[in-house]
Amino acid sequence: MSLRFLLLSVCFFAATGMVLLKETAAAVVVDKPSSGSEGAVDMLTLEQAISLALKKSPELEVSSQEMNAVEARILQAGLFPNPEIEVEVENFGGSGGFNGFDSSETTVQLSQLIELAGKRSKRRNVASLEHDLAGWDYRARRADVVAEVSKAFVHVLAAQERLSLTQELVRLAREALDTVSERVRAGKVSPVEETRARVTLTTAVIEFERARRILDASRKRLAATWGSTEPSFERVVGQLDVIRPVPSPEELESLISGNPEIARWAVAMEHRRAAMALEYANRVPDVALSIGVRRLMESNDNLLVFGVSIPLPVFNRNQGGVLEAQSRLVQAEKERTAARLRVLSALAGAYQELSVSFMEAVALKRDVLPGAMSAFEAAREGYRQGKFDYLVMLDAQRTLFEVRGKYIDALASYHRAAAEVERLIGMKLDLIKESGKQRHGGDLS
């Protein structure tokens, strides 16, 4: 009873899969966007994707507006204090002879604050360095966007390869089913093998559907990097199987100074020192000069009035501002060390993934893939000649496609790690002199 129930279940699974196969047989291609999509393209390269993201990325727009804000701060920091005009009327509205304005004195005075100790130039220098820091932060975000786009692009490229792989698997499973059906009709094999072949085909169709949906999600993820909700491209084009030898970790570590997150700290230290110099300058009190004219209504005489105002730094000598600036300078040095350690740690992880993926891809292409392909061809031909049963051919086919899937995964992992390493060192890997090229075995392509 249990064997009969198992066979019925297998047959039902196969029949269900055949329905799914008929519905998706015409869809074993990558979905195309609607022809009316604005700006739609058939093929998208990595360079085009990066260009779109750099033009439309919301994060970069935020950084750009920050730079505009700091430029306005530089303008404001370089302005002189506004002069003040003061009008004063004395000796009026009293009693006796001072009733009315006949004995009043009217003074019109213009005063100007004179900043000492070079406060204005120091303030402008601080704002200018803040602009330089904003520029480095923009470069850092730009590098993040480029890395994010590159990784998303690799996801799409790998998903396309997996879809092609499952499409080929469906084709081979269909051919195997036709071959098994002929052998069953000829009475050479049991009908159970035909049921197995149908189950295999159904499983391949399900894998194809899964790969297609993963590709759709990957395409949307890539489009999101430039702020689009729907992809306006049909497919991406690139060479997933072209990888290059990995430089030594020492060579990569020597290049992290090109990382904007590291390079910015040279400017950050200068900015903190400039801020401290400004706080020291703020200890010096500013002088306010005033000059004006006084009108004596009683005698109809005009007088000149001159004044000087100097605050006495008795209580407030900007002690807190100086101490804060000193602490900020020490803090910046600690943050600089922490940033370098953080980048080195991230680089070590990315390098590990990059080197392992490279070695795995090389081994799969040179040693494993040829053997799996040869075993599958031999098993398929042997089954046609009646030397092997269906399970032998099925096992060889499964091994081949698992190896090819692992090869795609290794290539995708390599390119994602390469994008991360390039972000961390601030330059392209192919610009580095490959001193270890012969040691690693040359270009896989």
pLDDT in tens, 184-204: 888 777 788 888 888 989 999
Q: List the single range of 86-95, 242-251, 316-325 with lowest mean pLDDT.
A: 86-95
CA distance linking residue 422 with residue 109, whole number of Å: 64
What is the crossing angle of helices 369-384 and 390-425, to 10°?
160
pLDDT at 20 over 70: no
pLDDT at 10 over 80: no
Please list, in sequence order, all residues whose beta carbon lies within 8 angstroms of the beta carbon of residue 191, skipping any fewer than 6 positions away. Answer: 184
Q: What is the pLDDT of residue 99?
A: 76
User: Which DSSP letter does residue 300 get?
Assistant: T
Buried b (16+ CB within 10 A) or exposed e, 85-122: eeeeeebeeeeeeeeeeebbbbeebebebebebebbeb
pLDDT in tens, 406-426: 999 999 999 999 999 999 999
Q: What is the pLDDT of residue 392?
A: 86
Q: What is the pLDDT of residue 116?
A: 94
pLDDT in tens, 323-358: 999 999 999 999 999 999 999 999 999 999 999 999
> Is 136 within 8 Å of 260 (Cβ atoms)?
yes
User: Which DSSP letter does residue 431 get?
Assistant: G
Give the residue carrying structure tokens 């480095």: 136
Confidence of residue 206 (pLDDT cuts 50, 70, 90): very high
Please list, in sequence order, all residues whose beta carbon lies within 8 angstroms of the beta carbon of residue 245, skipping any fewer than 6 positions away. Answer: 358, 434, 436, 437, 439, 440, 441, 442, 443
Give the residue carrying structure tokens 């031999």: 378
Average pLDDT over residues 231-259: 91
What domains, with CATH codes, occur in the chain? 40-79+115-283+318-440 (1.20.1600.10), 80-114+284-317 (2.20.200)
Q: Map residue 35 onto helix, strand or coil.
A: coil
| Burial class of residue 325 in the structure, from the number of CB atoms within 10 Å of its CB (0-12 exposed, 13-18 middle, 19+ buried) | buried
pLDDT at 300 over 70: yes
CA distance linking residue 87 with residue 91, whole number of Å: 14
Average pLDDT over residues 73-101: 86
Average pLDDT over residues 264-288: 95
Q: What is the pLDDT of residue 433?
A: 58
CA distance linking residue 307 with residue 286, whole number of Å: 14
Q: What's CA 400's distance to the chain center, in Å? A: 35
pLDDT at 1 over 70: no
Q: To which H or E segment does residue 106 belong?
A: strand 105-114
Q: Which residue has the higher pLDDT, 404 or 387?
A: 404
Distances in Å between the Cα of 389 and the Cα atoms of 43, 52, 128, 204 are: 44, 54, 78, 20
Q: What is the pLDDT of residue 29?
A: 37
pLDDT in tens, 32-55: 333 334 456 789 999 999 999 999
Q: List the single range of 160-174, 176-190, 332-346 with lowest mean pLDDT.
A: 176-190
Distances in Å between the Cα of 255 and the Cα atoms of 200, 349, 429 are: 51, 16, 11
Confidence of residue 127 (pLDDT cuts 50, 70, 90): very high
Confirm whether pTM is higher than 0.85: no
CA distance linking residue 386 with residue 381, whole number of Å: 9
Q: What is the pLDDT of residue 381?
A: 84
Q: What is the pLDDT of residue 317?
A: 94
Question: How much is the mean pLDDT over the chain?
Answer: 85
